[in-house]
Structure 1
Amino acid sequence: MFQAYPKPASVRSPILPRLPRSRCAEHGVKTIVPPWAGKHSRFTLLFEAFAVEVLQACRTVKAAAALLGLSWDAVQTIMDRAVARGLERREATPIKHIGIDAKSFGRGQDSITVLTDLDGSRVLDVAPERTQVAAGSVLATLTVEQRQKVCAVAADMLPAYAQAVATQTPNAERVHDKFHVAKHLGEAVDQVRRAENKALQAEDDDRLKGTRQLWLFT
């Protein structure tokens, strides 16, 4: 185990403790967990806390690994342990307003479902895909009491999300976020503009020609 510091200092302070260990015929070899490091970790908690700050400042794990002078797997493991510690400390406090949204990545080919605490500005859970099962799984991470006390859910306008929200949070009002409302409104306005423009052009009237941007962005 060692305490590592990022470049340019590149200073490593080795810690070589002799941790008490026992060998059991039934449970195998067991060692204690030292107060300065996590179980089976090669890094101190102090360094892992610093690594998490670097991760938060970087766009990718690869970029953080380059700054820390570690492998991608090592940094990913540090992040996984930090998330696990955070989940262990999370208290089942009432959450009045939550959000469920779909996010795309990988050139739009992959999607995830994100559950957020809107009042606390924090991500509560993430699940792959944007389906009713995904929405139900992230909502299920809240306790039954928490789900019953949710007052409103700001959700993507997917029917699958609507079904999950109605099932998991029966006392909550469903709110459409303004982005999707504006998107549907813009599509409706553009559809009417195209129909009107086609009808006017049949009468040699070009007054709506070239006005698409005017209707959509003013």
Structure 2
Amino acid sequence: MMTIQDVADLIGVGWDTIKSIFKRYLVHRFSKPKLGELKYIAIDKISVRKGQKSLTLVMDFENDAVVFVGEGQSRETLLPFRERLKKTRAKIPAVAKDMNAGYISAVMENLPNTAVVFDRFHVVKLMNEKITQIRRQLFRELTSPLERKAVKGT
């Protein structure tokens, strides 16, 4: 294992030359992953540059490989992936994803017989928001200070 600078020093070329060669290798090796073997995929979004830009990632759930990256977080972001997936005739039994409406409609439209599994973080977040809403409504309806004290912070 060597750093880019170590390789450049060993061969006697500039750091930028080794970086360029390595970048071309990575593009060649990972730009078009084979999708025919896909079974379980995960779809999620990430923010880049402190929330200024969003990327959609599609990952092979079995080997943790990223198989698609698209700019944005809408239904249309997944269209290029859908086209590539159609050509492979891969059978996807399940998709894990967050509760983004665009992702939900894209999966339901393009993979109608696929099970959708929502990630735990978003399910728990939605449940906690609903419980908080119910608790606040109950708190407003109570009149006794003792009852209000019992409900507050639960």
The bucket for the TM-score relative to the shorter chain is 0.7 to 0.9
Q: Secondary structure at the match of 2:151?
A: coil
Alignment partner of 1:177 is 2:122 = no
Q: Secondary structure at the match of 1:119?
A: coil
- Tell me the TM-score normalized by structure 2: 0.79
**Letter aligned with residue 144 of structure 2:** E
RMSD, matched Cα: 2.9
Q: Percent sequence identity over matched residues?
A: 26
Q: Give the drift of 1:79.
A: 2.7
2-structure distance, mates of 1:157, 1:116: 16
Q: Give the drift of 1:74.
A: 6.8
1:124/1:92 CA distance change after superposition, 3 Å: closer
8 Å contact from structure 1 (residues 125, 141) kept in 2? no
Structure 1 runs (4+) greater than 6 angstroms displaced: none
Counterpart in 1 of 2:5?
6
Q: Give the drift of 1:175.
A: 1.6
Q: Secondary structure at the match of 1:120?
A: coil
Equivalent positions of 1:64-79 (< 5 A) are 70-71=15-16, 75=19, 78-79=22-23
1:189/1:129 CA distance change after superposition, 3 Å: same
Q: Give the drift of 1:76.
A: 6.5
Counterpart in 2 of 1:100?
43
Number of aligned residues = 150
1:207/1:168 CA distance change after superposition, 3 Å: same
8 Å contact from structure 1 (residues 5, 12) kept in 2? no
Counterpart in 1 of 2:82?
139
1-structure distance, mates of 2:8, 2:25: 24
Equivalent positions of 1:27-176 (< 5 A) are 70-71=15-16, 75=19, 78-87=22-31, 90-147=33-90, 149-176=91-118
1:152/1:177 CA distance change after superposition, 3 Å: same
* Higher gyration radius (CA): 1
8 Å contact from structure 2 (residues 40, 95) kept in 1? yes
8 Å contact from structure 2 (residues 44, 98) kept in 1? yes
- Tell me the TM-score normalized by structure 1: 0.58
8 Å contact from structure 1 (residues 115, 139) kept in 2? no
Q: Give the drift of 1:92.
A: 4.2
After superposition, the C-alpha distances for 1:71-98 in whole angstroms (9 at most, x for unaligned) are 5x9737733541322345x444321111
Q: Give the drift of 1:150.
A: 0.6
1:100/1:139 CA distance change after superposition, 3 Å: farther
8 Å contact from structure 2 (residues 99, 122) kept in 1? yes
| Greater helix fraction, Structure 1 or Structure 2 | 2
